[in-house]
């Protein structure tokens, strides 16, 4: 009775609500088709007004089927190329008709949406057709994804890129002939010829390039979205990373980086290897700062919203070119060590250290970052080992052929220009040498205990230059002439002082160090005067002449003037051939000689010259005036042997 009253009291509005509830119940059913039919039969028996549920289900099913058929038809329409073996020539509507491309993507969206619909999921036949359509669509989208990537890849414009790079380092000089690590032959290193070392280029912070045409990025993102939502993320990632990996490999080729095995790298001659190292340094900068940065940006755009896929995609794309660069770095790190490689190895270390910071921010692949750290460590060890090789070479260089004219030894030039360049790497070398600092402290000589800086690099420099000075001292002993021994040491120590004072070396070694070496130069100058001019000056002394200036022995006077002339002419003949390159030192030496010799000669002539001038052949003994001697002294130390014309007259 209560049921009848309730039934008859339902008005039209209540009926609508019942129908709406029934419709919702039907949509919520997720059971097998047979079970749903049984449940609907029971539902409709409750009240004749619910009998419309069956019609509602049928109407909804018909609408879904129509939508599915239309979407499937669009996808099948573009399958005509499946029988064509040359699928690379086929193009989906993206190439020709944006409208049809949009229609195709809408069809894919429609099927993906209908697949989750209850009414289709319960229909095995429709589901089979839907899965086949999705599989077919993904295959076509994968092909189109690949084609768009390939056709819209922007080739690297290396020339334009180089033009935009700011040059920030100075070039240093060396002669065309390289100097090997054994110092068997030396080339002059100076700041006026050739190119010794170039730190390379620095990239601007705003430097970037387009890797893909911007118009294609939106299309690529739309395709990637569909493939990932369809469960085809693996295929999407593989396609993307394969194409972009090849593009990055091509960029390395354009940058001049070859694929070489470790064995091949180690067989390359130094000059060719040096060029490859320079290209590698620039390639690391461009690859990390420009190419991988751009690739990361591209992945962010195309795979926006899919963080894990984005990371995988970028890592897989970058791995190939990064490993190629790291393999070359490893080959250099374990290669034969020689002094000329040190600067380039330090450059490689510095650029990889900078790049590693960026790599760790971009790449989540722990293996790749670990490999980069390993190569960086290897380059650091190679730099330290090469520096040690250089130190040992300076200590052990034992050429026995003295410089003919007392000139600056090539070893001195090489070492000082070498260490002058090393100052640019002070920060890096302090870092690398820090662990060895305690071992080296005991090697510091007591005279240099007041070193004004305590950095590891400064201490090693001090030891290195001390080794050079000791080596030069040994080489000076090869000279039988004590005066030339002094000229040689003066030239070389002064050269060392000038290189230190005129560069950042001065800040590292300090003013006290410079003062001590300048004191050494002055002492060598005094030693030179004693060794060279004492015999000549003895001829101008009064001792042994006998009597006063008026009645001195003419025989003794003649002998004194004759001996003095002989000493002076011999000195002139020999020492015009000696070389003092520094103009200030050369002038100071001449002044010192003049101050010692000219006054003594003038005084001696004033006291005794008149006793010989009145006699026969006086010109044979008094051959030079004080002014003559002063002028002749200006010819000393020019490196061009001369003979006084008086000697020719004398011997005639």
For 263-276, what is each residue's pLDDT tens digit?
A: 999 999 999 999 99
Partner residues linked to 579 by β-bridges: 638
Classify domain 540-651 by CATH architecture. Up-down Bundle (1.20)
Cα distance between residue 435 and residue 3, in whole Å: 95
Q: CATH for 158-165+204-381?
A: 1.20.1280.170
Query: Whose structure tokens read 């893909």?
Result: 212
In this prediction, residue 200 has a pLDDT band, given cuts at 50, 70 and 90, of low
Task: List pLDDT tens digits, range 473-497.
Answer: 999 999 999 999 999 999 999 999 9
Range with the lowest mean pLDDT among 42-51, 129-138, 238-247, 434-443?
42-51
In the predicted model, what is the mean pLDDT of residues 605-615? 80
Please say if the pLDDT value at position 234 is more than 80.
yes
Tell me the pLDDT tens digit for each residue of 104-148. 888 888 888 877 764 555 567 777 888 888 899 999 999 999 999
pLDDT score, position 610: 83
Would the pLDDT of 4 be above 90? Answer: no
* pLDDT in the model for residue 648: 37
Residues 82-93 have pLDDT tens digits of: 444 444 444 555
Cβ atoms 230, 112 nearer than 8 A: yes
> Predicted confidence band at 388 (pLDDT cuts at 50, 70, 90)?
very high
Q: What is the mean pLDDT of residues 224-236?
A: 94
For 381, residues 6+ apart whose C-beta sits below 8 A from its C-beta are 333
Strand 201-202, strand 166-167: pairing = antiparallel
Residue whose pair of structure tokens reads 């899965």 in the numeric block:
131
pLDDT band at 335 (very low <50, low <70, confident <90, very high): very high
Q: Which long-range contacts (CB under 8 A, 24 or more apart) does 72-81 make?
A: 72/107, 72/111, 72/129, 72/130, 72/133, 74/103, 74/104, 74/106, 74/107, 75/104, 75/107, 75/108, 75/111, 75/133, 75/136, 75/137, 75/140, 76/133, 76/136, 78/104, 78/140, 79/136, 79/140
Identify the pLDDT of residue 74: 86
What's the whole-number mean pLDDT along residues 366-391? 95
Mean pLDDT of the chain: 81
Residue 224 has pLDDT above 50, yes or no: yes
Q: How many CB atoms lie within 10 A of CB 269?
A: 7
| Whole-Å CA distances, 550 to 24, 557, 611 | 147, 12, 7
Percent of the chain with pLDDT over 70: 73
Return phi, psi of residue 2, to 5°. -65, -35
pLDDT one-digit tens code per residue, 13-68: 555 555 555 555 555 554 444 544 555 555 555 555 555 554 444 444 556 678 77
pLDDT at 526 over 90: yes
CA 341/CA 354 separation, integer angstroms: 20
DSSP 619: G
In the predicted structure, residue 384 carries a pLDDT above the cut 60: yes
By CB neighbour count within 10 A (0-12 exposed, 13-18 middle, 19+ buried), where does 182 fall?
Answer: exposed
pLDDT score, position 204: 53
Those residues with Cβ within 8 angstroms of residue 480's Cβ, 6 or more apart along the chain or in another chain: none
- Report whether pLDDT(392) > 50: yes
Report pLDDT for 571: 95
Q: What is the pLDDT of residue 68?
A: 79
For residue 344 the two structure tokens come to 């380039």
Contact at 8 Å (CB) between 498 and 582?
yes
The CA distances from residue 314 to 143, 229, 303, 318, in Å, are: 20, 19, 10, 6
Distance CA 14, CA 49 (A): 11
Q: What is the pLDDT of residue 495?
A: 97
Q: Which helix (H) or strand (E) holds 171?
A: strand 171-172
Distance CA 33, CA 235 (A): 34
Q: Tokens for 601? A: 């000669």
pLDDT at 262: 92
The pLDDT assigned to 433 comes to: 92
DSSP string over 67-134: HHHHHHHHHHHTTGGGG-S-GGG---GGGT-HHHHHHHHHHHHHHHHHHT-HHHHT-HHHHHHHHHHH
- Listed by start position, the domains of the chain span 57-76+98-152, 158-165+204-381, 397-434+452-535, 540-651
Residue 592, C-beta contacts closer than 8 angstroms, at least 6 positions apart: 525, 529
Mean pLDDT of 319-328: 96
Name the strand (E) or helix (H) holding 167: strand 166-167
pLDDT at residue 187 is higher than 80: no
**Token representation of residue 174:** 């060396």
- What pLDDT does residue 425 have? 95
pLDDT at res. 86: 47
Radius of gyration of the chain (CA): 46
Judged against a pLDDT cut of 90, whether residue 517 lies above it is answered with: yes
Band the pLDDT of 249: cuts 50, 70, 90: very high
Where residue 410 falls among pLDDT bands split at 50, 70, 90? very high
Residue 178 has pLDDT above 70, yes or no: no
Q: How many CB atoms within 10 Å of residue 88? A: 12
Cβ-contact 490, 585 below 8 angstroms: yes
Residue 570 has pLDDT above 90, yes or no: yes
pLDDT over threshold 80, residue 619: no
């Amino acid at each position: 009775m209560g049921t009848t009253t309730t039934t008859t009291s339902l008005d039209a509005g209540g009926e609508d609500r019942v129908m709406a509830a029934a419709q919702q119940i039907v949509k919520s059913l997720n059971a097998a088709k047979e079970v749903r039919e049984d449940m609907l039969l029971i539902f409709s028996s409750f009240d004749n007004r619910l009998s419309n549920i069956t019609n509602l289900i049928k109407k909804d099913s018909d609408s879904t089927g129509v939508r599915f058929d239309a979407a499937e038809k669009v996808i099948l329409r573009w399958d005509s190329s499946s029988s064509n073996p040359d699928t690379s020539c086929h193009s989906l509507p993206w190439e020709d008709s944006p409208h049809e491309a949009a229609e195709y993507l809408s069809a894919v969206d429609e099927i993906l949406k209908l697949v989750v619909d209850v009414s289709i999921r319960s229909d095995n036949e429709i589901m089979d057709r839907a899965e086949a359509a999705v599989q077919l669509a993904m295959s076509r989208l994968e092909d189109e994804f690949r084609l768009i990537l390939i056709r819209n890849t922007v080739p690297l414009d290396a020339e334009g890129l180089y033009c935009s790079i700011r040059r920030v380092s100075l070039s240093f000089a060396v002669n065309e002939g390289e100097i090997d690590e054994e110092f068997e032959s030396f080339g002059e290193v100076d700041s006026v010829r050739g190119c010794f070392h170039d730190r390379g280029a620095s990239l601007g912070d705003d430097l970037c390039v387009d890797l893909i045409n911007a118009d294609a990025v939106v299309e690529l993102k739309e395709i990637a979205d569909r493939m990932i939502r369809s469960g085809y993320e693996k295929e999407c990632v593989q396609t993307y990373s394969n194409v972009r990996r090849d593009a990055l490999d091509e960029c390395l080729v354009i940058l001049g980086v070859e694929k070489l095995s470790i064995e091949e790298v180690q067989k390359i001659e130094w000059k060719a290897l040096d060029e490859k190292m320079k290209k590698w340094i620039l390639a690391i900068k461009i690859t990390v700062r420009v190419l991988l940065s751009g690739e990361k940006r591209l992945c962010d755009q195309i795979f926006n919203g899919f963080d894990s896929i984005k990371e995988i995609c970028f890592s897989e794309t970058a791995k190939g070119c990064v490993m190629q660069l790291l393999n070359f770095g490893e080959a250099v790190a374990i290669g034969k060590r020689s002094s000329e490689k040190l600067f380039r190895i330090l450059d490689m270390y510095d650029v990889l250290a900078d790049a590693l910071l960026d790599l760790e921010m971009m790449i989540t692949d722990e293996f790749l970052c670990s490999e980069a750290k390993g190569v960086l460590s290897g380059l650091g060890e190679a730099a330290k080992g090469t520096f040690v090789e250089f130190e040992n070479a300076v200590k052990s260089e034992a050429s026995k052929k003295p410089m003919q004219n007392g000139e600056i030894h090539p070893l001195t030039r090489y070492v000082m220009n070498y260490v002058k360049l090393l100052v640019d790497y002070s920060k890096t070398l302090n870092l690398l040498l820090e662990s060895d600092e305690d071992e080296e402290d005991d090697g510091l000589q007591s005279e240099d205990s007041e070193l004004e800086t305590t950095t590891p690099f400064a201490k090693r420099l001090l030891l290195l230059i001390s080794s050079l000075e000791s080596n030069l001292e040994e080489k000076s002993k090869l000279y039988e002439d004590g005066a030339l021994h002094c000229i040689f040491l003066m030239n070389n120590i002064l050269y060392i002082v000038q290189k230190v004072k005129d560069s950042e070396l001065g800040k590292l070694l300090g003013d006290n160090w410079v003062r001590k070496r300048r004191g050494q130069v002055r002492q060598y100058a005094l030693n030179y005067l004693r060794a060279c001019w004492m015999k000549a000056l003895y001829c101008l002394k009064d001792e042994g002449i006998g009597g006063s200036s008026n009645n001195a022995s003419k025989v003794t006077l003649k002998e004194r003037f004759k001996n003095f002339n002989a000493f002076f002419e011999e000195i002139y003949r020999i020492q015009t051939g000696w070389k003092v390159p520094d103009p200030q030192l050369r002038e100071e030496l001449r002044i010192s000689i003049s101050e010692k010799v000219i006054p003594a000669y003038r005084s001696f002539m004033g006291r005794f010259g008149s006793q010989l001038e009145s006699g026969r052949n006086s010109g044979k003994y008094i051959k030079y005036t004080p002014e003559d001697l002063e002028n002749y002294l200006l010819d000393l130390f020019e490196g061009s042997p001369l003979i006084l014309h008086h000697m020719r007259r004398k011997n005639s």
